Amino acid sequence: MKTAAPPSLPRLLCAALLALAGAACAGTPPAMAPDVAAPNAAALWQQIQAETADAACDGPQHCHSIAIGSKACGGPARYLAWSSKHDDGARLRALAARHAAQSKLEDEQAGLLSNCMAVQDPGASCRAGRCVLNPPGIGGRDSK
């Protein structure tokens, strides 16, 4: 009874090269890497702080609160007061959304957990010409 001769090393190498070449040609090209890496949560936080540094107000109509960051169980990590006296807040809202997404991604990659306690929006008010967060339980969005 004849048995098939075992494949030789050159045949195996040739088959492997053909398989790799076929796979390389069939795949989609890799995405172009951006010239600048996406900012991390810390860099976005610095931009948010710069954006909210001028919290000047003439009255409560200028003061708002915005959700910042993210918790592992969902929801924001904290709130920040900001003023619409000189700015409509569009850039700030975009930065806050990017920061929340990046924070969530970094926390997931690091395997971080949170206490899962919901952080209530305290709202903001104008005090001494500056927008500040209201103390807990006073004037927040959920207070009555």
User: What integer best gives the mean pLDDT of the chain?
Assistant: 80
**Residues 77-129: pLDDT tens digits?**
999 999 999 999 999 999 999 999 999 999 889 888 888 899 999 999 999 99
Report the amino acid identity of residue 26.
Answer: A
Six-digit token string for 15: 């088959």
Q: How far from each other are the two terminal CA atoms of the chain, in whole angstroms?
A: 93
Report the amino acid identity of residue 95.
Answer: L
Residue 47 lies in a domain: yes
Q: Is the pLDDT of residue 143 over 80?
A: no
Residue 67 lies in a domain: yes
Question: From start to end of 2-77, where are the E strands?
Answer: 63-68
Put simply, whether the predicted model's pTM sits higher than 0.75 gets the answer: no
Please name the helix (run of DSSP H) or strand (run of DSSP E) that holds residue 47, with its range, or none.
Answer: helix 41-52
Q: How many domains does the chain have?
A: 1
Residue 34 lies in a domain: no
Q: Is the Cβ–Cβ distance between 124 and 81 less than 8 Å? A: yes
Residue 35 lies in a domain: no
Residue 84 lies in a domain: yes
Residue 16 lies in a domain: no
What is d(CA 37, CA 55) in angstroms, rounded to the nearest whole number? Answer: 30
Residue 75 lies in a domain: yes
Residue 92 lies in a domain: yes
Q: Which domain holds residue 85?
A: 41-133
What is d(CA 42, CA 39) in angstroms, rounded to the nearest whole number? Answer: 8
Report the amino acid identity of residue 37.
Answer: A
